Amino acid sequence: MAGIRVNNLTFTYPNQERPVLKDINIDIAPASWTAIIGHNGSGKSTLVRLIDGLLIPDKGTIEVNGINVDENSLGLIHQQIGFVFQNPENQFVGATVADDVAFGLENRRVPPAEMKKRIHHSLEMVGMLDYQDAEPVNLSGGQKQRVALAGVLSLMPQVIILDEATSMLDPLARQEILSLLTELRSKQNISIISITHDINEIELADETIILDEARVAKQGPTKEVLKDGALLDKIGVGLPAGQQLKQLLAQRGINVPDNYFSLEEIKQWLTQQLQ
């Protein structure tokens, strides 16, 4: 059974009374892009860490591509999932860019000759090949995140989890990472799960899950979920630009059909109408 299945998941951090996650049920299809959004402290990071087996649930089960996540399957699970964390600095293990990409491969016991090829290939994919021997001090946050992504890609995972991976980057670097991910997804069958507050990043996702007060508040196709303006306001994401434009147009008596969603699509629709 491919994909990710979360059943009745409950998790409480040690020394805390209230659970961070309560009876969570989620299905994530293979090769899909899922955005997880919610307040700070709504359990988003906890959820993805549980999926990767970095935390062990109190109750409930998680299945990744048919493998049950528990203490015995951690090695297998880490092979299925690549994880990019928020802070670019604190996930850079190697002394140089190439060393950092090599770290995961070394753990996987890839022979040195093949390692070289894979490092070359994955650095090429993220456009960091010229920086192979650069040290982390001399890299920007965006470059470090690209290296982290290369480290993940070199391990050829089925699923890539981004835990606010673009939140510490400037808008340009963020855009670069996102277009890189879009490109990757069109070429390979990778599922992406991204935790984010960035509306542009949410719009890229096929499915969106909103977590609120330890529960799933809403779950479904991104286009559907993003229509719920009140809920988006409540969790502090704000309406996407396309939706805002749609509302403003509606107030002026112009109704944009439902299937035009993003700013770009609405722009196209408007151009068509004006011609």
Q: Which positions lie near another protein, rule CB under 8 A?
A: 49, 52, 54, 75, 78-79, 81-83, 85, 87, 89-96, 98-99, 102-112, 115-116, 119, 135-138, 151, 155
**C-alpha to C-alpha distance for 79 and 156, rounded to whole angstroms:** 8
Q: CB-wise, 111 or 253, nearer to another protein?
A: 111
Q: Report the nearest approach of another protein to the CB of residue 235 (Å).
A: 25
CB of 147 to another protein, least distance (A): 12
C-alpha–C-alpha distance, residues 189 and 67, integer Å: 18
Side-by-side strand order, sheet with 191-195:
81-84, 159-163, 191-195, 33-38, 207-212, 215-221
Return the number of the residue (54 or 249) whose C-beta is nearest another protein. Answer: 54
| C-alpha dihedral sign at 175, 194, 152, 101 | positive
Nearest to 6 by CA among 20, 19, 23, 18: 23
Q: How far apart are CB 83 and another protein at their closest, in Å?
A: 4
Shorter beta-carbon distance to another protein: residue 116 or 227: 116
In the bound state with another protein, the residue whose beta carbon lies nearer, of 115 and 266, is 115
Contact 99, 112 (CB under 8 A): no
Question: Shortest gap between Cβ of 125 and another protein (angstroms)?
Answer: 17
